[in-house]
Amino acid sequence: LYSSSLDGSIKLWDFMDGILIKTFTVGSKLLALYTPASFEDSVFVVVPKSGERDTFQLVSVKLTKAAGQDLEAKELSVILDSVNASPKCIAFGREGEYVASVNEVNLQVYFFKRKQLNRFSLSAAKTKSGNNHFMCIACHPTEDCIATGHADGKIRLWRNFHHKKEYTFSTLHWHHDAVMDLAFSVQGTSLLSGGVESVIVLWRNESEHQRDFLPRLGSAIEYISVSPDGTLCCTLHTDNRITIINSNLRFSRSIQGLIKSTNVKTGLVVDPRTKALVLNGEPGHLQFYCLQSDQQLFSLDIVQRQYIHQAGLNQTDLVKVAFSAQGEWLATVEEREEVTDPELQLKLWFYDEETQSFKLNTRISMPHEDHITDMCFRYMDEVEDESLILVTTGSDCVFKVWAMVEDTDPEGKYAQQSVSWSCDFVGSYHNYQATNCCFSEDGSLLAVSFEETVTVWDSLTWDLKCTFCYSPGKIRNICFGRLTCSKYLIGATDHGFLCCWNLLSCALEWSAYLNVVVLQPDPLSEHIAAISWLSKDSSLFVFKPNEPRPIYIQRNFCKEKIQLAAFVPREEPETVGSAKYLWLRRSQLFFLTATQELITLSTKSLEERLTPSSKQLAVEESLPVTPFSLLLGKHRRHQSQEDIDLGKRVVCNKPEQDSPAVKELLHTPAHVLPSASFLCPVFINSLLISKENTSAEEVADAVEMESEETEDDSDEERDVTEMEQEDTSPMELLGEITCKLSKSQEKELRKLRKMDYSWISAF
Partner 1 sequence: MGEFEVHRVRFFGLVPAGVRCLACQPRGPRLALARTDGAVEVYNFAVNYFQEKVIPGHDSRSVEALCWAAGDRLFGAGLNGEVTEYDLARLCAARSIDGCGGPIWSMAANSNGTQLAIGCEDGSVKLFQVVPGGIEFERNLDRRKGRILCLSWHPSDTHIAAGSIDTLRVLDVSSGQTVQRIMVNYHTQKAKRECIVWSIAFLSSGTIVTSDSFGRVQFWDREQETLLESHTVSTSAVLSLAVSEEEDSIIVGTSTGATYQFQLLPVKAGSLQKRWVRTKPFQHHTHDVRAVAHSSTALISGGLDAQLVIRPLMEKMQKKGYDAVLRKFTFPHRRLVSCARKARLLLFQFSQHLELWRLGSTDETGKDGEVLPLCRMPEHLVQLKSKGPEHIYCSSVSPCGSWVAYSTASRFHLYRVQYEGNGVSVKKVPKMPKLLLPAYQLQFSSDSSSLFVASARGSVHVLQLLEPGGCKHQHRLRPPSGSPEAVYLLASSADGHWVAAVSGDWAIHIYNLKCFKHHCSVPTYNCAVTAVAIHPVTNNLVIAYSDQQLFEFSIPKKQYTAWSRTVQSCGLHRMWLERDSPITHITFNPKNPSHILLHDIYMFCVLDKSLPLPDNSALLMNQGTLKQLPETARKRQLHAFKICKKFQPLLFADLLDENCLVMVERPIIDIKTQLPLPIQQKKFGT
User: What is the contact surface with partner 1 in residues (CB under 8 A)?
Assistant: 94, 97, 142-144, 157, 159-160, 162-163, 165-171, 176, 206-210
Q: How far is the CB of 162 from partner 1 (least distance, A)?
A: 5
- Choose between 150 and 636: whose C-beta lies nearer to partner 1: 150
- Choose between 172 and 705: whose C-beta lies nearer to partner 1: 172
Burial of 55 (0-12, 13-18, 19+ CB in 10 A): middle
Cα–Cα distance for residue pair 351/323, rounded to 1 Å: 11
- Choose between 128 and 648: whose C-beta lies nearer to partner 1: 128
Q: How many CB atoms lie within 10 A of CB 763?
A: 12
Three-class SS state of 748: helix
Q: How far is the CB of 176 from partner 1 (least distance, A)?
A: 6
- Choose between 53 and 113: whose C-beta lies nearer to partner 1: 113
Long-range contacts of the stretch 249-255 (C-beta < 8 A, 24+) = 249/200, 249/202, 249/212, 249/213, 249/214, 250/214, 251/214, 255/660, 255/749
| Residue type (1 letter), 659 | S
CB 429 within 8 A of CB 455: yes
Three-class SS state of 117: strand
- Pairing verdict, β 70-72 and 19-25: parallel
- Choose between 163 and 671: whose C-beta lies nearer to partner 1: 163
Q: How far is the CB of 160 from partner 1 (least distance, A)?
A: 5
Q: How far is the CB of 108 from partner 1 (least distance, A)?
A: 17
- Choose between 159 and 465: whose C-beta lies nearer to partner 1: 159
Cα–Cα distance for residue pair 398/401, rounded to 1 Å: 10
CB 346 within 8 A of CB 331: yes
Q: Which residues are CB-neighbours of 688 under 8 A, at least 6 positions away?
A: none
- Pairing verdict, β 56-62 and 42-48: antiparallel
Cα–Cα distance for residue pair 553/540, rounded to 1 Å: 6
- Choose between 144 and 719: whose C-beta lies nearer to partner 1: 144
- CA–chain centroid gap for 551, Å, is 30
Cα–Cα distance for residue pair 338/161, rounded to 1 Å: 49
Q: Which residues of 95-125 are buried (b: 16+ CB within 10 A; e: fewer)?
A: ebbbbbbbbbbbbbbbebeeeeebebebeee
CB 726 within 8 A of CB 711: no
Angle at 196 between CA 599 and CA 236, to 5 degrees: 45
Cα–Cα distance for residue pair 200/193, rounded to 1 Å: 6
- Choose between 143 and 341: whose C-beta lies nearer to partner 1: 143
Reference 529, options 503, 504, 565, 495; nearest CA is 565
- Choose between 208 and 607: whose C-beta lies nearer to partner 1: 208
CB 380 within 8 A of CB 325: yes
Reference 709, options 18, 16, 127; nearest CA is 18
- Choose between 208 and 229: whose C-beta lies nearer to partner 1: 208
Cα–Cα distance for residue pair 18/305, rounded to 1 Å: 46
- Choose between 7 and 144: whose C-beta lies nearer to partner 1: 144
Q: How far is the CB of 128 from partner 1 (least distance, A)?
A: 11
Q: How far is the CB of 442 from partner 1 (least distance, A)?
A: 58
Q: Give Cα separations from 441 to 269, 379, 444 (angstroms).
A: 17, 6, 8
Q: How far is the CB of 237 from partner 1 (least distance, A)?
A: 23
Q: How far is the CB of 663 from partner 1 (least distance, A)?
A: 41
Q: Give Cα separations from 490 to 110, 323, 532 (angstroms).
A: 64, 22, 15
Burial of 141 (0-12, 13-18, 19+ CB in 10 A): middle
Q: How far is the CB of 170 from partner 1 (least distance, A)?
A: 5
Q: How far is the CB of 118 from partner 1 (least distance, A)?
A: 12
- Choose between 170 and 694: whose C-beta lies nearer to partner 1: 170
Cα–Cα distance for residue pair 366/398, rounded to 1 Å: 13
Q: How far is the CB of 37 from partner 1 (least distance, A)?
A: 17
- Choose between 209 and 648: whose C-beta lies nearer to partner 1: 209
Q: How far is the CB of 168 from partner 1 (least distance, A)?
A: 4
The DSSP secondary structure of 534-570, one letter per residue, reads: ETTEEEEEEE-TTSSSEEEEEEEEESSPEEEEEEEE-
CB 612 within 8 A of CB 577: no
- Choose between 157 and 403: whose C-beta lies nearer to partner 1: 157
Q: How far is the CB of 102 from partner 1 (least distance, A)?
A: 19
What sign has the CA pseudo-torsion 621, 627, 633, 636? negative
Q: How far is the CB of 205 from partner 1 (least distance, A)?
A: 8
The residues with which 479 forms a beta bridge, in sequence order, are 490
- Choose between 209 and 216: whose C-beta lies nearer to partner 1: 209
What sign has the CA pseudo-torsion 567, 569, 575, 579? positive
Q: How far is the CB of 209 from partner 1 (least distance, A)?
A: 4
- Choose between 7 and 97: whose C-beta lies nearer to partner 1: 97
- Choose between 173 and 265: whose C-beta lies nearer to partner 1: 173
Q: How far is the CB of 178 from partner 1 (least distance, A)?
A: 15
Q: How far is the CB of 161 from partner 1 (least distance, A)?
A: 9
Q: How many CB atoms lie within 10 A of CB 366?
A: 12
